[in-house]
Amino acid sequence: MALEDVFKKLVAHCKEYGYVFPSSEIYDGLAAVYDYGQYGVELKNNIKKYWWDSMVLLHENVVGLDSAIFMHPTIWKASGHVDAFNDPLIDNKDSKKRYRADVLIEEQLAKFEDKMNKEVEKAAKKFGDSFNEEMFRETNPRVLETKVKFDELTNRFAKALNDSDLKEIKQIIEDYEIVCPVSGTRNWTDVRQFNLMFSTEMGSNSEGATKIYLRPETAQGIFVNYLNVQKTGRMKIPFGIAQIGKAFRNEIVARQFIFRMREFEQMEMQFFVKPGEELDWFKKWKEIRMKWHQSLGFGAEKYRFHDHVKLAHYANAATDIEFKFPFGFKEVEGIHSRTDFDLGSHQQFSGKKLQYFDPETNESYVPFVVETSIGVDRMFLQIISAAYDEEEIKKDDGTIDTRVVLRLPPALAPVKLAIMPLTKKDGLPEKAREIIDSLKFDFYCQYDEKDSIGKRYRRQDAIGTPYCITVDHQTLQDDTVTIRYRDTMLQERIAVKNVNEIVADKLSLRKLLEKLK
């Protein structure tokens, strides 16, 4: 199946099974805003807990914070967002569609990469075990020809972005004959800058009202509180502050479902270090964060680092962790060495000293910062797209049946156990509820008595429930139930008193966290 079709199915699945709904749907929706349904909110909460515990519980020197969304407007002047939080936009005059000019060029670069990868794949098939990829990439004339084009465009693009040269960005789009995916034409407007911050007014009357912004990142709340936390928590450098919260960006192009939203959630951690030590810490956090992603078990080949060509005004090193979504490798997390830009700038704009006094060396300095910044929603999309599977099953009569199953990591699955009475009578529902009552303090359980047992299993597969427990007449006699495993569909008879013990290990976040050691 084409990857695009997989993605469409995934979006439909999320809606049909109560994971994600378009916002304000009965009013035809609101672009790039989504609501999380009954299962979506559980998965989201589990993701946040996995991140929070991995930061705050596992690192003695990382503590939490929950700062307000509204902040003093000067903060956004100091951070550079008022002047520089822009994206270059371009319109196609025929389709009237709007694009991010930089994304159009990045897509062209991805096409060159695809072309090279296809050559490599073809050759790998042809030569089998004796294939040497490195040598092939260095010597094959077709790969080399594309590589020259790729490097030329990369350099030209990086320079244009660094110089904020909008005319050159347009020129690149023209020179590489990039067409609008909708109209197929090259009838482009000029490239313009567009500020992504939402603003509103605070105050009761128009004269006294102040223009304030909805935060486009949670990081600034951490920077302006860093001394409060450091002093009251008696934190010693190096230390980190972690925060989870909403962020808002008036994105130019908001397609691809929850990948790019106008209201979304971030999990950010700012790590304060001694100047000069930031690049070591940058390296360490890169490793820690990659491990966190990979411990979910979707396969290491699904992830890669993408080092930034253009460094943001505040950074001296930056990388993205990219995940292979159905629409290609895309960023899920950014790791940035932000120097002392933010604290230095807040010191200047606020007139307050933001220096750290080092009791060991008796010196004061403005710390440098390494940040890890990940979107909850993108993480959600990563998990759900890796988990979605359409499995073909051969039935007894030889025909093929397809089951849709969400192979969610059990510790993150919304419903952990579905408890099902085989029939709605003979005391089976009461027994099922008795079992739920003993399990519900530890796990999110769901009671399900409607439809045939086969249909119920399929419904739970589609939700991603790792275990189904079926209560039948034998249960009333010997206190045993059938447990059915989501991934293998295997079933076995176990004692009710053993259910908790059998599932607890797999369902616990602890097991996932232990992998991070």
Asked whether 90 and 101 are in contact (CB, 8 A), the reply is: yes
> Of the listed pieces 207-215, 260-268, 435-443, 477-485, which binds ligand ATP according to CB under 6 A?
260-268
Residue-wise burial string across 145-167, b where 16 or more C-beta atoms lie within 10 A, e elsewhere = ebbebbeebeebbeebbeeeebe
Give the binding-site size for ligand ATP (rule: CB under 6 A): 16
Task: Pick from 54, 339, 373, 446 the residue near ligand ATP by CB under 6 A.
Answer: 373
- Among positions 266-305, residues that touch ligand ATP (CB under 6 A) are 266
x/- binding map, residues 314-353, to ligand ATP, per CB under 6 A? -----------------xxxx-------------------
- Report how far residue 18's alpha carbon sits from residue 407's, in angstroms, rounded to the nearest whole number: 16
Residue 258: CB minimum distance to ligand ATP, A? 7
Site membership for ligand ATP, residue 260 (CB under 6 A): yes
Contacts of 227 (CB under 8 A, 6+ apart): 354, 356
Residues 98-157 interacting with ligand ATP (rule: CB under 6 A): none
- 447-468 exposure pattern, b = at least 16 Cβ within 10 A, e = fewer: ebeeeebeebbbbbbbbbbbbb
Closest approach of ligand ATP to the CB of residue 316, in Å: 15
Please write down the long-range contacts of 152-156, taking CB distance under 8 Å and 24 or more positions apart.
153/105, 153/108, 153/109, 153/112, 154/109, 154/309
* 246/217 Cα distance (integer angstroms): 8
Q: Are 421 and 436 in contact (CB under 8 A)?
A: no
**From residue 469, how far is each of 80, 204, 258, 435, 495 by CA, in Å?**
55, 57, 33, 9, 11
Of 113 and 263, CB closest to ligand ATP: 263
Q: Which is nearer to ligand ATP, 334 or 429 (CB)?
A: 334
Rg (CA), the chain: 26
- Of the candidate residues 104, 212, 374, 432, the single one contacting ligand ATP (CB under 6 A): 374
Identified binder of ligand ATP from the candidate list 42, 340, 377, 448, rule CB under 6 A: 377
Which of these, 31, 379, 414, 384, lies nearest to 22 by C-alpha position? 31
Interacting residue with ligand ATP among 113, 251, 322, 442 (CB under 6 A): 251
Output 83 or 434, the one with its CB closest to ligand ATP: 83
| Nearest residue to ligand ATP, by Cβ distance, number only | 375
Record the tokens describing residue 352, joined without a space.
């307050």
**Among 155, 151, 75, CA closest to 348:** 75
Residue 307 CB, shortest distance to ligand ATP, in Å, is 13
- Among 261, 369, 463, 496, contact with ligand ATP (rule: CB under 6 A): 261
Binding mask 191-220 vs ligand ATP (x if CB under 6 A, - otherwise)? --------------------------x---
Q: Minimum Å distance from CB 506 to ligand ATP?
A: 28
Binding site for ligand ATP (CB under 6 A): 217, 249, 251, 260-261, 264, 266, 331-334, 373-375, 377-378
